[in-house]
Structure 1
Amino acid sequence: MVRRNSERRAALVDAAIEVLAKEGARGLTFRAVDVEAGVPTGTASNYFASRDALLTQAGARVYERFQPDEALIARQRAATPDKETYTTLMREVVGRVSAFRTGYLALLELRLEATRRPELRVVLTERVRADVDANVAYHEQSGLPGDATAVRLLYLALNWLIVEQLTLPDVFSEAERDQLVAAAVERIVIL
């Protein structure tokens, strides 16, 4: 029974992400989540004490789904730690995050909502800080060129590139996106 409940909870949180991406934070209601998840009316309200709890869990879930799989991590660790590998890594990150379009759009909605909801702001701040710290730690352990500041600058630059790709996809082609990623690595990462 516990497994079924955890699977149902995850499905409801995933449905909340989809609703956030389609309808925005104002459209996120228990009823909308129930419809998106294809469950009986009232199901989401049985799993989450409040809309804030649902928002908070959706924020945490987006980051879980952005994580690379173990095979990709192993391949990255086995590669030569140079700028070419760094560029490939950054292209994979941009591609992976962009591929989960609704997750990133939901995250943008959550970030805006966090400006009005202190509890959500705390969760997102902790999650983003942990993500940045993990990226810096991975970088330092990998032997890739550059320093912690380069990691942070690439994080900031590539996040906006992803926003551009997801919200105004015709501004840059995929080839231009790849060129911009390579240029960002080349110009930010000092050997």
Structure 2
Amino acid sequence: MPSDRFVVLTDAAIDLVAELGMRGLTHRAVDTRAGLAQGTTSAYFRTRKALIEAVVRRLADLDQADLEGGEPSPIDFGDTRAAAAGIAAVLDRWMSSGRARTLARYACLLEATHHPELRTILAYGDASRAQARAMLAAAGAPDPGRAGDHLVACIDGLLFDRVAGAGARSAPPPGTAENRADLTAAVTVLLQAFTAPRP
């Protein structure tokens, strides 16, 4: 379990990255955003890379908590319809109250494309891919390993489109029942496509 100071510093860093991008992530800026004495962040995270690693760990912990049993309820991967609604609820949260986290996550992923040493730290999507593979295996998908990877990629694309792409302008407002219903319909189509028997 992370310490209170780790949470305060990394949450401040996440907000900065979401607002200003990776260029805005400095030890001094995190201290200021967190309302702590200058030098606090550098005492915990000596280098910028260590700070980025901490941000990624915090993002991963928060995302995993959402996938394993956040509000409104744990995702039921044994029931396709319930799974679609559960995934939609998580996506809606990541578009609304968790939007800063989503933007910070994308910024960290882009940073890793320029700094290969960060790729192993990120390991983004490993847990969600494992869950998707297990769910599709239980649903009888012909190739659950590959289908799970493709499903996560499609859902990631849906999230990105709604947060940063054209979907942000044309979709229902995040945080609404209408948005959750629209997302549920989209995820249901994906789940049906990936569990359909091959011709």
Question: Match for residue 164 of structure 1?
Answer: 161
- Per mean C-alpha deviation after superposition, the further-off stretch among 109-118 and 143-152 is 143-152
Q: TM-score, with normalisation over the residues of structure 2?
A: 0.78
Unaligned runs of 5+ in 2: 173-178
**Does structure 2 retain, via aligned residues, the 8 Å contact 1:83–1:145?**
no
Separation (CA, whole Å) in 2 of partners of 1:88 and 1:148: 22
The 5 A counterparts of 1:46-125 are 46-67=43-64, 68=66, 70=69, 72-73=73-74, 76=76, 81-99=78-96, 100-125=98-123
Secondary structure of the equivalent of 2:125? helix
Does the C-alpha gap of structure 1 residues 60 and 138 become closer, same or farther in structure 2, counting only changes over 3 Å?
farther
Query: TM-score, structure 1 length as denominator?
Result: 0.81
Give the C-alpha shift of residue 128 in structure 1: 3.1
Q: CA deviation at 1:138?
A: 5.8
Alpha-carbon spacing, 1:112–1:129, altered in 2? closer, same or farther (3 Å): same
Q: Does structure 2 retain, via aligned residues, the 8 Å contact 1:17–1:103?
A: yes
Name 1:189's counterpart in structure 2.
195
Q: Does 1:179 align with 2:185?
A: yes
C-alpha RMSD over aligned residues = 2.5
Structure 1 gap ranges (5+): none
Q: Which residue identity does 2:188 align to in structure 1? A: A
User: How far 1:14 sits from its partner (Å)?
Assistant: 1.2
For 2:193 and 2:128, how far apart are their aligned partners in 1? 23
What SS does the corresponding residue of 1:188 show, helix, strand or coil?
helix
Greater helix fraction, Structure 1 or Structure 2: 1
